[in-house]
Structure 1
């Protein structure tokens, strides 16, 4: 049996195994097409077809990337197909896991539950999909060809949450890795994911899967039931399933709790960093001194004050030095009695509570799906159909807090010897010290705190579809979706902290609040025990309160379309699809009142995010067969599509796409497409409520501006504000972030080009079937929407021309300097200049009968040539490919052997080595090789599984990451978001060796 594809006027005539192979390579697939027959049954089907001489003509089907139903699986754009059987063999316990795997994403980083301690769009616990590394808002997710509406918490909800998708009901997933706005509308910039459910179910199936990690934590459990019934004119089916993942904490993985690799050069043995430093005075390790972002120092068990000289701790310098951090030591009687100075790296930064932080946060998902249809026997054999999807996510994240107790100058809570000290820090802008300057700040271990969310998502769809005449069909539907989220955080309240500092004596040697109303509890007096983290529970209970916000996101969509043949031409039939769509979206996020009133201590304040938008669209698509059945032109087909879009917020635009599929000989196909896409900014990008926070004093552009040239714009601009040349900012900078609707945010456009080749050479039967596909892609996004930081706005303003600066033009309209030279900056979403992604996707497949069974192997490799961008036209275009978390290559290998009812699979995932040295050498002429560990080696993960399929049941057992591979290590001070010493990157496995089993039974 060979892999030649014979076509006649658009019909594909092959036996089942050949159809599967053609589908796999022409689309191309990551896994083989779903096969319900055994190897012997496939051979029987082949023999019977060959003997009878009959041919099988496929039903007209629609493949993601086109609205036109056709008789073949061929597509002018690359489409990857994943069936559920292979995802089970691979050990995935959820649809989220399948979609975020490297085989789909090509190694680009995804937002998952390892991001619980970071600010992400959609809120903590959300899981999104980004194709080509262009972000989740540029990837469109469909379910049965219809949009999956955004879901999540907080104000930045704008993408589909993969958690809402069912699992047991899924038949296959089609992934279009090409721009398709002319086909599907806004957001389809990088590609489209279409999750397709089983259409008719006539039995009941129950399924259970359990994934257990070898080192504990992060276990997954899924249980589901699917059932259905079919009558003469109706069908009804549905599923209900529960998915739960337990928490994986930092302390459960040794690599996450190792001492952060500090700012040290390469050791003599070629390694970086150092072993855990043990403080000889306490015998405790000095770990966790650098936070996960690699930018700041966590300090606990110390106090901050100035102007005092005294003895230092062991290794912290000679007696008489002046320190800015001190820790209790009752043996010290000189300088600052009872305290010794500590150096930068000998400060205490470790707390056992850090081991209880979430490495991968827990979640519990409950999902129900119901679908059905009724034949009307009217309106062109029409079917009245409906779908309903309901989902609840309960997620939680555990973090750790460093708490500051600010004792104001002269506070009675201070020991007598410290009350007369001068201020060490000016009064914080948040009002937490009642406007008084700080004399002593104590950095204490406050322990753990929790965030948690409850997200309810519902989508209902109803429609009617039927025929117009003998060859045309129509489909019209209405969908309404709603995401309703409640999100909670254990927060410290600023006003309660301020009241706790305003104390009077209780007459018994203690203190009480001057205003005791509401149960106010005085802050603890400064003692060695308090500095060590022994904080009275009553004080904790007073300043901490559960805060609650609510996010509601709704989306309504009306669709109507028709498709069918227009007329015949010598090579076949010209077909067309056309239709219209109207969509309305609305977001309403109301943070807790304490967040709105800027009353959250150490957390950003947020205003409500409220906005709505609607869009009306019309599209048309043509498919034109130009040549067929000729020498060196077995098939030549062109596809053209266009869409007109009219947003209430951004006006109108149009997109288009042209594609071509050329088969000169039966074993070779060439495809290419070029088109434009359009993305209106998401609602949160337009209407995000102002979120306030603080930047460090070092962010003031005028600090020590006298060291610059007197002719430079920054020198002139700072001097125009009357600042001295040696100016140093002493107050935190207020930073406000808001949506871009008020600052002229525009829609973004993009151009995408793909070109590919599919080779299916003919070999003798004994050799087997070998196929290969290669696809080149080039996507350029112009005017892209991005979030500009407060620091960037400050730099752009003070480096602008003095005339613009004094007139408050450009970015300077967002900067204000107030009393006492305090500084505030407003930033938000803006249109950046350019983003570019370019690369190759390769797929190879080999199938051969060996002994009594069939062997199949599939290899996929993604090669990013460019992942580049710039913020402003004057900026250089810098390529990030090959940097940490942006590998140039990612690949996977899938080997399977099926014999009778048994199938064994081996999988290998690969992420190529990365380094930032070349990036900094190229663009900044800086060599960090002796300072930081900024590179990772090739990363491989192996999996192995065995499956048995009975008549009405199946069982699968296996292991993922069978080598127990740990993620690679980088330097803590290298400036990356990290988990322990590992980069925060979804392509690395944080769980370790995992065992899984899956059982399924049908009745």
Structure 2
């Protein structure tokens, strides 16, 4: 049978020892062995580790999430804020190509990804693992350790471990083909896989292989879904007089598709200018600008009028993944087995960050511009500005903003290749088990961001003048001959005025490549040391050596400032090569040495007060070449007073060391909206970020306590509740650019943080409205605090319908997470902030599933509940609608088994989001650029149909 149903099948039982799992996770296997899940390196008959573990089979994960195992995991209540193609950003520096799991919402770098207990080398520049590289066709189940596990499994397991378990003994041939389509007739997907296993060299060798292919079109434009083209924006300023609220048809007052000379309240330099409040129509006509209705407290945006939105953003990115895997096991001797496995994955992701790249409030237009209408040029030439002297350069100019709807869309093309190799020996010596392995991983990410403006060319092209012969040329060719003699003067007045050749000349590809590799040598020895009255004392001891190297190259290193010489149309004192996605270079390496020991000690067995009482302890010493030695440990207890009830408790100290990218990354520059209280302006700003070689490991302290109830009087029923409390100190985080700027302002310009805020003029310059920052540096430091606590709970019940005259089975499972506390502290100068039940972190998340199996026919229904969230936890910040309502998504799957010619087949149809539930309306400050909801948590695709066929011979 292909289906892994929540019942006992094929003589296989799954013992969820120390786990939030029961016989529901039972699955088909190639043999009749018992599968033991411990959440520990110690495997011993009857041993129950105290670590809470959620166990789900591949079939259960993909039954209502046919896109893949990662999609199924992302929908579990314990995961939050995962990065994937549904959650694209407006910069090409995001991890777009792949699926990156985020346990507890504490960050993908804080959970450890394993394959059969082996660390997987990172596949991205920031040290995370794209789980798409794992051969899903051969994955039997996934074990999620929902608590600190650094002492047992290795550094970086601060929030937990996700361990993929392969069916290494599989014999036969199986495959799958499926297609998907949304209820709107778009976002097509296709998936195909083939996997096989067979014995060679008699029964001494075994070969495994698989190939997985997945592709999905995505949704190239926000407008493809309701609300996506309605230009929703957040207006107000969060005060009682002007609370934040969602508003339709919100448009920028600082730029138009044809070029605008904004009013002085949006660009102070235009105060009293004769062209203030004028803009160009598509035909080049200069007319008065209607700013629309300006909502109280809102800066730079109006409702209606002649303003423009940002357009062209991708709603969900496209994805194309191919994954190859092969493994060979060989019995060297009666007690020694050799193995080697190799995998290769290529993932490609494309998405548009923004179609209308904007230079809002960043352009000066001069009276001698050859494309200005004569009357406008004359008015500007006679304008007497602040210095009172007509005709000076400062007077004969006007500030302008343009949103380029006529430029090529700025599309990211991210291609990631990952190679992994693992080989080793394992065997037994007497009653002891041993294993020695070597692993190598090599990954390269190639990211290209098309349609980016060359800053030099753009500003130079805007400054079009007439030479002595009357020809229109770039002013820079007259004032600075030899600097940019190939400059192409461009008419930017009026939407559609620039030709395709013009756009080609100012547009380019911002590119960066990140290459990373890791060598891992590891060994482990385990078994029973000696016996106590209550049973054997078991142990596992071992060590690991890792060496990792990072090399990043770029064609737009922001550390190398682009010259502004001769660019009099440029407002900023600093510009980067491109108007977005300027990524620095980086190079670095480190090595890690680790040694660990874990022990399980039985205290009582068969006692009147305890059927079993066990103690578990683990210790690991980790030595980083960059920051020295660190100790991690874990203590746990498991108490079974009687066979139906078990209590468990753990206390651990965990670490995560800074990644190579956090240590050595070159400067990156991102452009985005920013409000500056000093100047009172809300405009685009460059945020610089980079590595910090002085970072040290962050420390996690975790408590878990739980109870598991499996009443023998009600076979098939299981319940568990686990409390968790994770506190991470010295957490590595970037200084919030807003906090840096605010601290500098509060100090009157004297704070040491002021060095990270670059302004065109000194801090006390007047008028302050002209002193909007050019850039802010967001530095990574070891000062942050992250803390989260709550409850995980599970209830499952599996029973047969035989008493009712039906040879059928029903399986029910409820998984829930209750997170009433989440605290963050950006740095030592900031107050701790309560952020629970906000943004990506609802207090309640629940999955409820029911499966009905009647012979070859199966039906599964699942409800996914996402609780209501508060729009803010900030005291004094007021929203007109302070709460986002709870939401429920319903998924169903119908499938049928049949046999043809000795092969077993399973046909299935899955409908996700059956009710086509729309995401809640959550507008932001960038109308048109981002879809008005939280894409990291809510479904923006809508009803989705997937039909497929599985086969096995």
TM-score by length of 2: 0.84
Superimposed CA distance per residue, residues 440-472 of structure 1 (whole angstroms, 9 cap, x where no aligned partner): 444442342211021110000110001112x10
1:284 aligned residue: none
Q: Does 1:840 align with 2:758?
A: no
**Deviation string, structure 1 residues 813-848 (Cα, Å, up to 9, x no partner):** 546677666766543101124211100011001122
Query: Partner residue of 1:242?
Result: 213
Distance 2:444 2:402 in 1: 40
C-alpha displacement at 1:215, in angstroms? 0.8
Provide the C-alpha distance between the structure 2 equivalents of 1:629 and 1:210, rounded to a whole number of angstroms.
55
Residue by residue over 1:43-74, the C-alpha shift from the partner in whole angstroms, topping out at 9 and shown as x without a partner, is: xx9xxxxxxxxxx9x66x66363111222473
**Aligned partners of 2:557 and 2:584 also within 8 Å:** no
Residue 526 of structure 2: SS of its match in structure 1? strand
CA contact (8 A) 2:385 2:395 kept: no
Question: Who is 2:565 aligned against?
Answer: none
Of Structure 1 and Structure 2, the greater helix share is in 1
Q: Distance in 1 between matches of 2:286 and 2:859?
A: 71
Instruction: Report the 3-state secondary structure (helix = DSSP H, G, I; strand = E; otherwise coil) of the residue aligned with 1:541.
Output: helix
The answer to whether structure 1 residue 462 and structure 2 residue 416 are counterparts is: no
| 8 Å Cα contact 2:192/2:212 also seen in 1 | yes
Q: For the residues of structure 1 that align with 2:131 and 2:283, how far apart are their CA atoms? A: 58
Spell out the pairing of 1:81-160 with structure 2 (5 A cutoff): 81-105=55-79, 108-119=80-91, 123-152=95-124, 156-160=125-129
Match of 2:440 among 464, 472, 480: 480
- RMSD over aligned CA atoms reads 3.8
- Alignment of structure 1 residues 523-602 onto 2, 5 Å: 523-525=489-491, 530-593=493-556, 597=560, 598=562, 599-602=576-579
1:370 aligns with 2:326: yes
Give the secondary structure class of the aligned counterpart of 1:127: coil
Distance change in 2, residues 1:571/1:308 (3 Å): closer
Q: Of 21, 24, 27, which residue of structure 1 is paired with 2:19?
A: 27
Q: Secondary structure of 2:191's partner?
A: strand
For residues 941-952 of structure 1, the aligned pairs below 5 Å read 941-951=889-899, 952=904
Shift of 1:350: 5.2
SS at the partner of 1:360?
Answer: coil
Q: For residues 596-995 of structure 1, what are the structure 2 equivalents within 5 Å?
A: 597=560, 598=562, 599-692=576-669, 699=676, 701=678, 703=679, 735-741=687-693, 744-763=694-713, 769-799=716-746, 810-812=752-754, 814=756, 825-850=776-801, 851-873=806-828, 875-916=830-871, 919-920=873-874, 924-926=875-877, 928-929=878-879, 932-951=880-899, 952-973=904-925, 979-986=930-937, 988-995=938-945
In structure 2, the partner of 1:224 is: 193
Q: Identify the range of structure 1 (161-170 vs 390-399) with the bigger mean alpha-carbon deviation.
A: 161-170
Per the alignment, residue 205 of structure 1 pairs with: 174
Worse-matched range after superposition: 577-586 or 402-411: 402-411
CA contact (8 A) 1:409 1:440 kept: no
Paired residue for 2:296?
none
Contact residue 326 and residue 342 of structure 2 kept, 8 A = yes
For 1:434 and 1:460, locate their aligned partners in 2 and report how far apart those are by CA, in whole Å.
Answer: 64
Structure 1 residue 520 displacement after superposition: 3.9
**Separation in 2, partners of 1:730, 1:562:** 61
Q: Match of 1:783, SS?
A: strand
Question: Are residues 1:1001 and 2:951 paired?
Answer: yes
TM-score by structure 1 length? Answer: 0.80
CA–CA separation in structure 2 for the residues paired with 1:884 and 1:308: 32
Instruction: Work out whether residues 138 and 189 of structure 1, in 8 Å CA contact, stay in contact via their aligned partners in 2.
Output: yes
Cα-to-partner distance string for 1:289-337 (whole Å, 9 max, x where unaligned): 26xxxxx97743441156899xxxxxxxxxx9999543347999xxx96
Change (3 A) 1:367 1:696: closer
Deviation at 1:493, TM superposition (A): 0.8
Equivalent-residue separation in structure 2 for 1:817 and 1:264 (angstroms): 26
Q: Give the Cα separation in 1 of the matches to 2:68 and 2:745.
A: 50
Q: 1:18 to 1:671 in 2, by over 3 A?
A: farther
Q: Secondary structure, in 3 states, of the residue corresponding to 2:81?
A: coil
1: CA distance, partners of 2:283 / 2:99: 53
The answer to whether 1:170 aligns with 2:118 is no
1:501, 1:522 within 8 Å by CA — same for their partners in 2?
Answer: no
Q: 1:696 to 1:627 in 2, by over 3 A?
A: closer
Task: Describe the superposition over 1:76-118 as per-residue Cα deviations: whole angstroms up to 9, x where unpaired.
Answer: 111111112222321322222122113451xx22111133233
- In the alignment, the residues of structure 2 paired with residue 630 and residue 843 of structure 1 have an alpha-carbon distance, to the nearest angstrom, of 29
- Contact 2:16/2:37 (<8 A) preserved: no
Q: Which residue matches 1:722?
A: none
Establish whether residue 71 from structure 1 lines up as the match of residue 45 from structure 2: yes
Contact 1:307 1:322 in 2 (8 A): no
Distance 2:924 2:333 in 1: 68
Equivalent of residue 380 in structure 2, options 418, 421, 445 = 421
Offset of residue 439 of structure 1:
4.8
Distance 1:383 1:552 in 2: 33
- SS in structure 2 opposite 1:613? strand
Name the SS of the counterpart of 1:869 in structure 2.
strand
Which residue number corresponds to residue 714 of structure 1? none
**Does the 8 A contact of 1:864 with 1:889 survive in 2?**
yes
Partner of 2:226: 254
Note the C-alpha offset of 1:141: 0.6
For the pair 1:453 / 2:405, whether they are aligned, the reply is no
* Runs of 5+ consecutive residues of structure 2 not aligned to the other structure: 1-6, 267-271, 293-301, 387-392, 563-575, 764-770
More off after superposition, 257-266 vs 779-788: 257-266
Unaligned segments of structure 1, at least 5 residues:
1-14, 39-44, 46-55, 277-286, 291-295, 310-319, 427-432, 704-727
Q: Are the structure 2 counterparts of residues 122 and 645 from structure 1 closer, same or farther at C-alpha, using a change threshold of 3 Å?
A: farther
The 1:330–1:425 alpha-carbon spacing in structure 2 relative to 1, beyond 3 Å, is farther
Counterpart in 2 of 1:387?
341
Q: Give the 3 Å change call, closer, same or farther, for CA 73–542 of structure 1 in structure 2.
A: farther
The equivalent of 1:283 in structure 2 is none
1:4 corresponds to which residue?
A: none
Change (3 A) 1:782 1:323: farther
Shift of 1:652: 0.4
Aligned to 1:397: 351
Contact 1:386/1:461 (CA < 8 Å) preserved in 2? yes
Give 1:602 deviation, angstroms.
2.1
Q: Which residue does the alignment assign to 2:572?
A: none
Is the aligned partner of 1:339 residue 2:288?
A: yes
Question: Secondary structure, in 3 states, of the residue corresponding to 2:315?
Answer: strand
Return the alpha-carbon distance in structure 2 between the equivalents of residues 696 and 83 of structure 1. Answer: 44
Answer whether contact 2:445 2:515 (CA < 8 A) is retained.
Answer: yes
- The 1:435–1:454 alpha-carbon spacing in structure 2 relative to 1, beyond 3 Å, is farther
CA contact (8 A) 2:443 2:516 kept: yes
Q: Separation in 2 of the partners of 1:258 and 1:394?
A: 30
2:491 and 2:497 in contact (8 A); partners too: no
> How far does residue 697 in structure 1 lie from its aligned partner after superposition?
8.8
Q: Is the 8 A contact 1:95 1:165 kept in 2?
A: no
- When structure 1 is superposed on structure 2, of 568-577 and 19-28 the one drifting more is 19-28
Residue aligning to 2:369: 411
- Map 1:185-200 → 2, pairs under 5 A: 185-200=154-169
Q: 1:582 to 1:776 in 2, by over 3 A?
A: same
Tell me the distance in 2 between the aligned counterparts of 1:689 and 1:272. 37
Following superposition, the deviation at residue 341 of structure 1 comes to 4.1
* Preserved CA contact (<8 Å) 1:122 1:151: no
Displacement of 1:212 after TM fit? Answer: 1.6
In the other structure, the counterpart of 2:251 is 289
Please tell me whether the aligned partners of residues 647 and 708 of structure 2 are also in contact (alpha carbons under 8 angstroms): yes
1:959 CA displacement: 0.9
